[in-house]
Amino acid sequence: MSSSATATATQTFPVERVRADFPILATEMNGKPLVFLDSAASSQKPQVVIDAIAHYYQTDHANVHRGVYALSQRATDAFESARATVAKYINAADVHEVIWTRGCTEGINLVASSYGQRLRPGDEIVLTTMEHHSNIVPWQLLAQRTGAVIKVVPVTETGELDIDAYRALLTDRTAIVSVVHVSNALGTVNPVVEMTRLAHGAGAVILVDGAQAIPHEQVDVQAIGCDFYVFSGHKMLGPTGQGVLWGKRELLESMPPYQGGGEMIDRVSFGGTTFNTIPLRFEAGTPNIAGAVGLAKAVDYLRELGVDNIERYESTLLAYATQQMSEIEGFRVIGTAAEKHSVLSFLVDEIHPYDIGTLLDKQGVAVRTGHHCCQPLMDHYGIPGTVRASFALYNTTEDVDRLVAATKRSVKMLR
């Protein structure tokens, strides 16, 4: 990208105003102004989200769904209106299709445990080489319990899924496909619309892990057409411990409960218990009410800025970072897919990622190093891991410049 194009995109997005909304960005790390490039692991939080959580506890808190008093009603309203905000954001057909979870991982485990009960020996689960461990292990556990078989879609050298191989793996025994929307380790955006169409053609259901997609693009679950879509709030400016499982109503209604407890029941007796309707059937115990309130505020914040604007700005930043870093001798990008979001995974020569990450930390630059919970993917590339810089709406070209300078200095020390 030309420097004038970078300048134009940078000028149209109000990044300085955005940065001022995130108090942590004004802090230091190891005595240097913080350059935070680990948003793919967890994003920082704007003041409005922090305030919304504090305000909820200061004025609205009581347990939800069972109080006859006004305060409990207020808490319930806040909680359920948060659900409606999220449902609208992802274009769910029905607010009841939004199930609160602790995060993406719990959403996958819920589907694997509950929907997975209908799997029979020899049924096939299709995953891909680029899945996060949290989209591998729950299915392995399910396969152990049921005798189902896991099939894996290979990844090409550029870090894209081999769609022909995917097509060939789909059979009449395929029960579930579970695929990441955007790779956390590579940034690759996968063709989930086409993959959904193909899965349905084979009579399978498909779950899309949207953890890395939802902070960076407008997700429309009906446009994708998938059966389940899961994500975490903490990667999209919301609090930790709050996530979402969206599922098609008729599927969720056909699924047995995941955990037992309060909220999820209709009537309990020792003779037999009947269960609540969705979404509460899948929300045993007192939920993370403040988490829901905080997440809804994060969604409002993203909407006000416009997710399309954010996506455009971030893609400019990624292109700029890729270009600037490429000037470092021995630099190579891991994951060069045509379509990527906000992740620059790299190595320099044979230098170990841990060494670069350690020296970047000393210079105030926060990146992630290692296998990024994607060991099968690292094995595919034959590397122990990568250094991963990931960008969010509050990062600037100055952040990129600091990354480049700090990487150059680190590499010089390590060579």
For other proteins, which is the closer residue by CB, 162 or 361?
361
- Stretch near other proteins under the rule CB under 8 A, chosen from 96-104, 151-159, 311-319, 357-365: 357-365
- Strands 149-153 and 124-128 turn out to be parallel
The residue type of 201 is G
Q: How far is the CB of 358 from other proteins (least distance, A)?
A: 5
Q: How far is the CB of 362 from other proteins (least distance, A)?
A: 5
Number of CB atoms found within 10 A of residue 165's CB: 15
The reply on whether position 413 binds other proteins by CB under 8 A is yes
Contact predicate 114/255, CB 8 Å: yes
Contact predicate 210/230, CB 8 Å: yes
Taking CB under 8 A as the criterion, the residue among 80, 220, 355, 401 binding other proteins is 355
- Active site annotation includes 104: no
The reply on whether position 376 binds other proteins by CB under 8 A is no
In angstroms, rounded to a whole number, what is the distance separating the alpha carbons of residues 207 and 12?
Answer: 36
Q: Total binding residues for other proteins by CB under 8 A?
A: 17
Q: Which two tokens stand for residue 353?
A: 């990622």
Taking CB under 8 A as the criterion, the residue among 19, 362, 380, 408 binding other proteins is 362
Taking CB under 8 A as the criterion, the residue among 154, 191, 262, 370 binding other proteins is 370
CA-wise closest residue to 88 among 246, 234, 314: 246
Taking CB under 8 A as the criterion, the residue among 61, 133, 371, 408 binding other proteins is 371
Taking CB under 8 A as the criterion, the residue among 47, 306, 358, 379 binding other proteins is 358
Q: Which of 104, 226, 373, 374 is catalytic?
A: 373
3-state SS, residue 185: coil
Contact predicate 83/288, CB 8 Å: no
In angstroms, rounded to a whole number, what is the distance separating the alpha carbons of residues 188 and 340?
Answer: 5
Q: How far is the CB of 118 from other proteins (least distance, A)?
A: 36
- C-alpha separations of 402 from 101, 117, 363, 388, 398 in Å: 37, 50, 9, 15, 6
Residues 11-40 that bind other proteins (CB under 8 A): 30
Name the residues annotated as catalytic: 373
Binding site for other proteins (CB under 8 A): 30, 351-355, 357-359, 362, 369-371, 384-385, 413-414
